[in-house]
Amino acid sequence: MTTPADETNPDAPATDAPATRKVPVELGLRAYEVLIGHGVLKQLGALMEERGLQGPFTVITDYRGDHARREVWEKILFEDGVDYPTLDVPPGEASKSLEAYARLMSELAQRKVPRSGTIIALGGGVMGDLAGFVAASYLRGIAFVQVPTTLLAMVDSSVGGKTGVNLPEGKNLVGAFYQPKLVVADLGTLRTLPGREFSAGLAEVIKYGAIASEGLFDRVAAGVTVEDEDLAEIIETCVAIKAGIVVEDEFETGTQRALLNFGHTIGHAIERATGYTTYLHGEAIALGMRAAAWLSVWQLGLLEEEAKRIELALSANGLPLELKPEVDRGAILAALGNDKKVGSDGKNRWVLLKELGVAESGWEIEEDLVEKAIGLLYTP
């Protein structure tokens, strides 16, 4: 990987600091930048002003009930003395609901937030998706800024413009493509992230390596921790891969964006089959990538050795390779049939690897092979 900038001085101004890495998302009129670095949130006001974003600014976040996080974050969030009006949401996936959405809309209306205002989504993917959808639809759309604070949100959900909430009938069934005006990923916020959540984010990093960059794959296969000096560079590489795909296929009408679903067909089925309570998203995706790697061997001639490298990369980053024995394999198979992304013919379309770093979407796979891959997840 190349190192476009050195990130050693957290006190330098964010705008031209070598410490801050910038990835452009070149979407024409909807173009924006993803800024990644230590201490970059301290310049948020200036960064928003440079981009013509106006107040009133409203933060939507789930951190304020967490005292430990509050103590650490209040030293790193925003310029000294700046205290943006804030709307609090309880943490957890349950907040990605129509009820939370309706409450936030009403609160914005009661506060008379005008169309010229800006929403700041501060938190993980749940806050980004929820606050992003609020921004997409309040007064038919007001500006918003993503401030991702989980590794998963930094490398994945804050970039690309998918916003939305869940229905009782299923995840992400309501939403909009709505791009932020700016994404600011401050690595300082990761200091409070539980290790299990960090590992779950690394599953998506392994995914980017597997589908698009063998160099990134090799780096993450060695194991990544929150203290690693090249963490900003790793995040930058992931964001650049995602941005490249999103620019090609903003509204997921082509085949490019589907590549991001490597490991997600079985991963989503595992999440559905276990009621979203047993595994974090990244953990389910890790299992799905193990299965998809072997499907790639059987269907597309991926070298066995490369499937084994994927397994080693997952375990080196604290991710599961095996399903808990109590998870019902029939339920996973049934859940595969209910994937939101099945084709109009009701068949799953799979993303497979030709080699490490090269993926292909749109594969159909015979059911007995899929069963064999799921069976593999019950073995070491």
Ligand X SMILES: NC(=O)c1ccc[n+]([C@@H]2O[C@H](COP(=O)([O-])OP(=O)(O)OC[C@H]3O[C@@H](n4cnc5c(N)ncnc54)[C@H](O)[C@@H]3O)[C@@H](O)[C@H]2O)c1
> Does the footprint of ligand X cover residue 190 (CB under 6 A)?
yes
Asked if 339 is part of the footprint of ligand X (rule: CB under 6 A), the reply reads no
CB of 306 to ligand X, least distance (A): 25
Residue 132 identity: G
Minimum distance from residue 62 beta carbon to ligand X (Å): 5
Selected from 36, 113, 152, 235, the binder of ligand X by CB under 6 A is: 152
Closest alpha carbon to 293 in 215, 209, 200, 199:
209
Task: Round to whole Å and give the CA distance between 305 and 203.
Answer: 19
Stretch that binds ligand X, among 18-26, 124-132, 231-239, 336-344 (CB under 6 A): 124-132
Q: Binding-site residue total for ligand X (CB under 6 A)?
A: 27
Write out the DSSP string of 200-223. HHHHHHHHHHHHH-HHHHHHHHT-
Least separation in angstroms between CB 225 and ligand X: 15
Question: Closest CB to ligand X among 172 and 315?
Answer: 172
Q: Rule CB under 6 A: which of 22-81 touch ligand X?
A: 62, 69
Q: Would you state the structure tokens that stand for residue 170, as one six-digit string?
A: 């299923």
Residue 360 near ligand X by CB under 6 A? no
Q: Which residue is nearest to ligand X (CB)?
A: 125
Residue 185 pairs with which residues in a beta bridge?
36
Q: At 166, which helix (H) or strand (E)?
A: strand 162-167
For the chain, what's the residue count? 380
Classify residue 161 by its DSSP letter: -
3-state secondary structure 110-139: HCCCCCCCEEEEEECHHHHHHHHHHHHHHH
Binding window for ligand X (CB under 6 A); candidates: 2-10, 157-165, 221-229, 323-331:
157-165
Alpha helices in the chain (DSSP H): 44-50, 67-76, 98-110, 125-137, 151-152, 195-212, 214-221, 231-248, 264-273, 281-300, 304-316, 329-336, 367-376
Tell which positions 83-102 bind ligand X, by CB under 6 A. Answer: 91-93, 96
Closest distance to ligand X from the beta carbon of 364 (Å)? 25
Q: Name the residue nearer to ligand X (CB basis): 43 or 157.
A: 157
Active site residues: 140, 162, 204, 242, 252, 257, 261, 264, 268, 281
* Distance in angstroms (rounded) separating the CA atoms of residues 64 and 44: 19
Q: Point out which span in 10-18, 136-144, 155-163, 331-339 binds ligand X (CB under 6 A).
A: 155-163
Residues that bind ligand X (CB under 6 A): 62, 69, 91-93, 96, 123-127, 129, 149-150, 152-153, 156-157, 160, 162, 172, 189-190, 192-193, 197, 281
